[in-house]
Amino acid sequence: MSRPIKAILHTNNMAHNLQIITSSVKAHPENQNKTIKRLAVIKANAYGHGLAAAMEGFKDADGFGMIDLEDAAVLRKNGVTQDILLLEGFFHKSDIKTMLNLGVSTAIHSPYQINYLKEELPRLVSRGFKPVNLFIKFNTGMNRLGFKPSEAQKVYEQLAEFKSTGLIKSIGSMMHFANADTDNRDAEVVRIEEEFVKNCMNLGGHEVPVSLCNSAACVRYPRFAGIATENWIRPGSVLYGSQYFPNLNEQNVVHNFKPAMSLVADIIAIQNLKAGDSVGYGSKFTATKDCRIAVVACGYADGYPRSATNETEVGVLGKRAKLAGRVSMDMIAIDISHIPEANIGTPVVLWGEGGPNIDEAAQMCGRISYELICGITPRVPKVLDNGQS
């Protein structure tokens, strides 16, 4: 038998989360009669959940956003026909042929990518590839990727020249919010309206497809989700049950997302301690009274953060228990004195259904939810909630 730890992936919850964010943005009064398509973001191996879970959980999405062409190939091999968008674009000249072969669209954020297209597209015209979409990425304050909004018309005209190859279907505009998940947002909204809306939505004499909203922007600025006639939203973290948006608890949508992953490990040993006994490396937990300590088959080599303290909680049979001592490579200890029914083989929920949600777990460990779900190591089996692994 394998070590008793697994990450259970709740594909029904993933589908639920996609529907919740879709309904939320479409319900905004300014989004009536607008086309709003959903690009489920599955970068970083679907935020650590795996592509198999993503393909099942987000099968109703209109498209998928990712980073790696290799992942795009996996989706196509498994029969996924929806649009796929490379969020960081292509990195090498040779990627263009692969991209066209897979029917994958791409972001364009730098002049070198335009130059690569200029060199490669003419020689690929007669290969029988279907046309793909381009999205010009604009830098509206994140200062990572993208052209200046003032360059919009010039960049569009350069890319429009490639339409004669028959390999480019449409050219749209996209951007990424830097502060949608913080309180430092008012100036950003003004900048978006003055720079992106003014310069980047009407290109070449007509309105283009637009993609503005990530998860936080969908929740905080739903009107931007339908700002154009054709819109693509790019939800990521909320699809996986993460809903930590400071000062947004008053918006009910924040409370409706469900966990996409439950990290569960069994109790493998129990120690009965006397007052004064200590637990673990460095004796960071010392019993103040007689107590019952359970040893759980999960440690930092599984991706559970070593930064977790004695105040970090887990779920045991519907109750909460706190860690006792440092997280080891392969084990943690928890105080189950108040849960007498817990015994060898009892499952412990590190996060997910029956335990703290991913945002609670991350906060208790001094991390963010992305770090935890993306940090699950390969030795932890991932199991779909339908029993498939």
Q: Which residues are annotated as a binding site for substrate?
A: 144, 329
Output phi, psi for 174, to 5 deg. -145, 160
Output phi, psi for 185, to 5 deg. -125, -20
Report how far residue 102's alpha carbon sits from residue 288's, in angstroms, rounded to the nearest whole number.
62
Residue 59 among the catalytic residues: no
Cβ atoms of 160 and 131 closer than 8 Å? no
DSSP string for 266-321? EEEEEEEEPTT-EESGGG-EE-SS-EEEEEES--GGGT--TT--TT-EEEETTEEE
Annotated catalytic residue, options 43, 93, 97, 284: 43
Token pair 């796929």 is found at 84
164: tokens are: 């004669």
367: tokens are: 């991390």
Report how far residue 44's alpha carbon sits from residue 202's, in angstroms, rounded to the nearest whole number.
33
Alpha helices in the chain (DSSP H): 11-26, 43-47, 51-57, 69-77, 95-102, 111-124, 152-160, 186-191, 197-199, 215-220, 358-364, 369-374
Residue 240 among the catalytic residues: no
Annotated binding site: 144, 329
Annotated catalytic residue, options 112, 130, 154, 281: 281
Based on its alpha-carbon atoms, the radius of gyration of the chain, rounded to whole angstroms, reads 24
Three-state SS at 341: coil
Catalytic residues: 43, 281
